[in-house]
Amino acid sequence: MSKYIGASVKRKEDGRFITGRGRYTDDIVLPNMTHAYIVRSPHAHAKIKSINVDQAKAQPGVVAIFTGKDMEADGVGSVPNGWQIGEDMKEPPHPPLAVGKVRHVGDGVAVVIAEDRYAAKDAAELVEVDYEILPAVTDGAKAMEKGAPALHDEAPDNVSFVWELGDKDAADNALKNSHRTTKLEIVNQRLIANAIEPRSAIGDYDAGRDELTLYTSSQNPHLIRLLMCAFVLGIPEHKVRIISPDVGGGFGSKICHYPEEIIMSWATRKIERPIKWTAERSESYLTDAHGRDHHTTAEMGFDKDGNILGLRVNTVANLGAYLSTLAGGIPTWLYGTLLAGQYKTKSIYVQVTGVFTNTTPVDAYRGAGRPEATYVIERLMDTAAREMNMDPAELRRKNFIAPDAFPYQTPVVMQYDSGNYEPALDKALQMINYKKLREEQKQARDQGRLLGIGFSAYIEACGIAPSKVAGAIGLRAGLYEGASVRVHPTGKVMVYTGSHSHGQGHETTFAQVAADGFGISIDDVEVVHGDTAQIPFGMGTYGSRSIAVGGNAIYKAIEKIKEKAKKIAAHKLEASADDLEFADGSWTVKGTDKSVTFAEVALIAYVPHDYPEDLEPGLEDNAFWDPKNFTFPFGTHICSVEIDPDTGKVKILKYVAVDDVGNVINPMIVDGQLHGGIAQGAGQVLWEEAVYDDSGQLLTGTMMDYAIPKADDLPSFEIDRTTTPCPDNPLGVKGAGEAGTIASTACIANAVIDAVAHLGVKDLQMPFTPQRVWNAIHGNGNR
């Protein structure tokens, strides 16, 4: 029946991208448009004594200049925090432009609006800000020390929250009674997402209709509208339209609600002209939400046979200067709840402290919480295997949750939907030719070469859900997805989705679902996303939720429409609806050749000349999908690396990945998601890190200083999959956007350490730069 689902259909959206006809926010030009440049703090922590804009205002082409005080005087609210962690959480205000004090380098202090971008930038240089510099702190652990500079009056100890999960006594006991324990100190360094399209926003106020349109490079336009209307500007939602057109990558950094979206929306109402702001890359480095930044100690206890008995984890999460939209939930609920991994660990306890520092706010970055959890567990597993002299694959196999144990309740909240972990491991072992590879490793060592093999058997929780649970864990949003499907009189179909595509290929994948649902050609389906005026409601794209939540909403809307269409078909065929079957785009009276096509039914729906009384004309419907549970994709990645002993440089020789993301709608697109994900995970292990100096200056503030992987740095990846459908949704899908990143960081890290462990290197912290690796090799006196 399915012609498209499961097929590697070429992407519908590619036509415009390969010919330069994409339409990203910065490509849009509106009549009478002005350009904004934001004056930003050069200091990490300072009092604003005064701001003088007189000279700047007198420059040619300058239209207006506003400061935080202007916005405050106008009643503009704080950038909202979307996730409450515990009753006692400290939520200090975050003004869109700083008032009184700046708290990180790049904190905005004024906006200059001019006729063109060059004029705006010129004038911005003449804005005089008198700062009184205060001592700064950039490290999470140091910010908690007595006497550390305090960022917010509301949180004198710089702590926003202390969160815990699991049974502390049980975990303590398990570790006490363990035959042996493995302990690691783990730094999951701060990263910068680096979507290649810098963020951009255009505010466009129509005074005649009192309507605001905001174009913004966002992953979830509806949420931005909700937050901005309800919490910041206090203007009604029906007067606001948010458009996120083509967006050049997000990776989490375009989920959150940013000050610039507020500033453009507010200022356009003041000057009654459209205003565009587009970040320069160095501005992105200072203001795009950063990711990760955990400092963790973790202990895992085993019995004498290698069965895991308990896990205890303590993490300090650096939140940056303010609470970004989802900042609280990521190092807590999206992290602690995944610490069981693929293993039947009986007792787990985790404590997380969220801390303010004079750095850029931290929010989601690909995987968000789950890569951090996987890194902790999988590093512990490889280390423990080495300490116990066991094969790392066998230690994992021994501890896997059995396939007949699903749904499986972990000790940390989650109930895994479905899983079968051994086949993925076996396939990966086979693909990398494991036995032979170990042989090669031995031989290599004899020759003085440094070859390592690393594992990562991960689990992921996709499509945060259901709304009931989201509410219970403090998330200030529901987590369903909306869809609207409209059938035109000629049988052409429009699908409106609340999910947002910024590279994931929704225009194709969702069209595949609709084309198969109606038995029509994919060319007859158009998918619309990223515009709050066209789409009833939605929650956007992040956390690999698009197909699992958004796709199923579309499926549900299609089913509703087919219910009605069947009645129309029954009328046309003068048969009872119960006697009809739907196949290949037609309804047929069972056992006869009497049939009517989808297109014919569509026409009748809109030209109801001869229509039964109880049917209403038209053929369209909306649906919302609120999932029963998260979905839990999993898999095993294995890689081999070689280290050049003279330079410490790591080369990934081979990388194999076996992932199980449930049913797959478009294998080509899913593989592409995995490739990109693996590359980003590799970036974290080997090169990427946001580095601050003690005064709070970001030293990795340009693409020259922050090492994004290039084509030359990476191998091609070998990818395969197993399929364990999700039992909780009709499409049986789980989600694939983050799996690669979640798995690959631990996998490559384990391989590097495996390559040097025999030299006495016990541990290394990311990123494993040549310098760090070389020092580790040579610092142990073994060579």
Partner 1 sequence: MTHTINVNVNGVAHEAQVEPRVLLVHFLRDDLRLTGTHIGCDTSQCGACTVLVDGISSKSCTMFAVQADGREVTTIEGLAKNGELHPLQEAFREEHGLQCGFCTPGVILSVYDFLQHNSKPNEEEIRHALEGNYCRCTGYHNIVKAVQKAAE
Residues found near ligand FES in the complex (CB under 6 A): 196, 248-249, 503
Pick the binder of partner 1 from 146, 238, 609, 710 (CB under 8 A): 710
Rg of the chain over all Cα atoms, to the nearest angstrom:
27
Residue where the block lists tokens 């369903």 = 480
Cis-peptide, bond into residue 259, ω within 30° of zero: no
67-75, 177-185, 240-248, 624-632 -> range binding partner 1 (CB under 8 A): 240-248
Q: Does 651 bind partner 1 (CB under 8 A)?
A: no
Minimum distance from residue 497 beta carbon to partner 1 (Å): 17
- Please report whether residue 503 would count as binding partner 1 according to CB under 8 A: yes
Instruction: Indicate whether 703 belongs to the interface with partner 1 (CB under 8 A).
Output: yes
Smallest distance from ligand FES to CB 429, Å = 32
128 three-state secondary structure: strand
Instruction: State which residue, 386 or 502, has the beta carbon closest to ligand FES.
Output: 502
Minimum CB distance to ligand FES, residue 249 (Å): 5
Residue 287 near partner 1 by CB under 8 A: no
The verdict on 677 binding partner 1 (CB under 8 A) reads yes
Of the candidates 684, 573, 631, 680, the one whose C-alpha atom is nearest the C-alpha of residue 186 is 684
Return the residue of 82, 106, 166, 248 that touches partner 1, per CB under 8 A.
248
Strand order in the sheet with 580-583: 580-583, 586-589, 595-597
Residue nearest to ligand FES (CB): 196
Residue 20 binding result from ligand FES, partner 1, none, given CB thresholds of 5 to 8 Å by partner type? partner 1
Q: What are phi and psi of 274, to 5 degrees?
A: -65, 145
Q: 332's torsion region: left (phi>0), alpha (psi -120 to 50) or beta?
A: alpha
Site for partner 1 in 80-139 (CB under 8 A): 116-118
- How many residues lie near partner 1 (CB under 8 A)? 61
Count the alpha carbons within 13 Å of 92 in the hemisphere toward its beta carbon. Answer: 24
* Closest by Cα among 720, 707, 719, 718 to 650: 707
Q: Which does 135 bind (CB under 5 to 8 A by kind): ligand FES, partner 1, none?
A: none
Which of 291, 505, 519, 538 touches partner 1 (CB under 8 A)?
505
Q: Could you tell which of ligand FES, partner 1, none binds residue 24, using a CB distance below 5 to 8 A set by kind?
A: partner 1
Q: Determine contact, residues 78/325, Cβ cutoff 8 Å.
A: no
* 196 touching partner 1, by CB under 8 A: yes
* Residue 760 interacting with partner 1 (CB under 8 A): no
Shortest Å distance, C-beta 578 to ligand FES: 49
* Binding window for partner 1 (CB under 8 A); candidates: 11-19, 335-343, 446-454, 544-552: 11-19
- Among residues 404, 613, 712, 781, the one that binds partner 1 under rule CB under 8 A: 712
Q: How many CB atoms lie within 10 A of CB 305?
A: 9
Whichever of 397 and 675 has its CB closer to ligand FES, that residue is 675
Contact status: 32 vs partner 1 (CB under 8 A):
no
Of 27 and 584, the one with the shorter C-beta distance to partner 1 is 27
**CA end-to-end distance (rounded Å), the chain:** 63
State how beta strands 718-721 and 650-660 pair: parallel
Instruction: Write the CB contacts of 743 (distance below 8 Å, at least 6 apart in sequence).
Output: 374, 456, 458, 635, 636, 637, 657, 659, 678, 681
Q: In the bound complex, what is the minimum distance in angstroms from residue 246's beta carbon to ligand FES?
A: 11
- Residue 704: name its binding partner from ligand FES, partner 1, none (Cβ under 5 to 8 Å by kind): partner 1
Q: If binding is defined by CB under 8 A, does position 251 make contact with partner 1?
A: yes
Cβ–Cβ contacts within 10 Å for residue 779, how many? Answer: 12
Nearest CA-CA partner of 745 in 450, 249, 379, 291 = 379
3-state SS assignment for residue 595: strand
Structure tokens at 60: 């040619």
CB of 387 to ligand FES, least distance (A): 41
Q: Does 13 bind partner 1 (CB under 8 A)?
A: yes
Structure tokens at 515: 């084309």
691 lines the binding site for partner 1 (CB under 8 A):
no
**List 222, 292, 427, 502, residue binding partner 1 (CB under 8 A):** 502
Please tell me whether residue 498 binds partner 1 under the rule CB under 8 A. no
Q: Give least dist CB 633 to ligand FES, A.
A: 22
How is residue 770 written in tokens?
């040549």
**Residue ranges of E strands in 303-436:** 308-320, 347-356, 408-409, 415-416
Strands 580-583 and 586-589: antiparallel
Chain centroid to CA 288:
13
Reference 420, options 656, 725, 718; nearest CA is 725
196 versus 533: smaller Cβ distance to ligand FES: 196
* d(C-alpha 694, C-alpha 698), whole Å: 10
Contact positions vs partner 1 (CB under 8 A): 10-11, 13-24, 26-27, 29, 116-118, 193-198, 246-249, 251, 278, 280-282, 502-505, 668-669, 671-673, 675-680, 702-704, 708, 710-712, 714, 716-717, 740
